[in-house]
Structure 1
Amino acid sequence: MAEDAPLDYRAIDDVIHGRVRLAVMAYLSGADTADFSQLRDKTGVTDGNLSVNLRKLEEAGYIRIDKAFVKRRPQTRCSLTDAGRKAWLAYLERMQAMLFGEGGDPAD
């Protein structure tokens, strides 16, 4: 990338780029699945805030939300979909390209 070429911030996935959604995607990329309380504790947000952000990720097709009852208590479990994993990797590649150039290699 030429030194004076502008960084193409428009290629950043706005669904993922929100702080809470970014944290959820990062956590789920390393954990196969996580329940609602794990995600709430890891992100440090309120139940309502987490619910809104999970819904946005689900609507985008990035996460799957499974609801069940365990010992009469509702349990919400989340996991990345294949599309979500692809979007996450593309997001990371775009951020690397913005930081280190189109090759995206910090060693360059």
Structure 2
Amino acid sequence: MPAACPVCGQAFEPEPGFYFGAMFVSYAFSVAIFAVTTAALYFLAGDPALWVYIVGVGAVATACTPLALRYSRALMLYWFGGVHYQPGRAHRPAPAARA
């Protein structure tokens, strides 16, 4: 992951250890993924065998891990990093790097 956004220059790590809290957000995403997948298997597959739950939840959780990680970091930036989305800013060129 780059240190700053190539478009707007926003620092992705405002301070050391900033994303320590993101693992708790990611944990909440994982619990939600487990619960939704388990409920879907129960209702759609008619309460299958235990191994189907284990394989199904494991596959969905593994597939969704990159999304959960990225969204948990993005939420940390929005909630605690003081970052606010500005749609027009993405169309402007990035500030020039100083040597």
Is TM-score (shorter-chain normalized) higher than 0.5? no
Higher relative contact order (CA 8 A, sep 6+): 2
Which structure carries more strand by proportion? 1
Which structure carries more helix by proportion? 2
TM-score, with structure 2 as normaliser: 0.31
TM-score, with structure 1 as normaliser: 0.29
Say which one has the larger Rg: 2
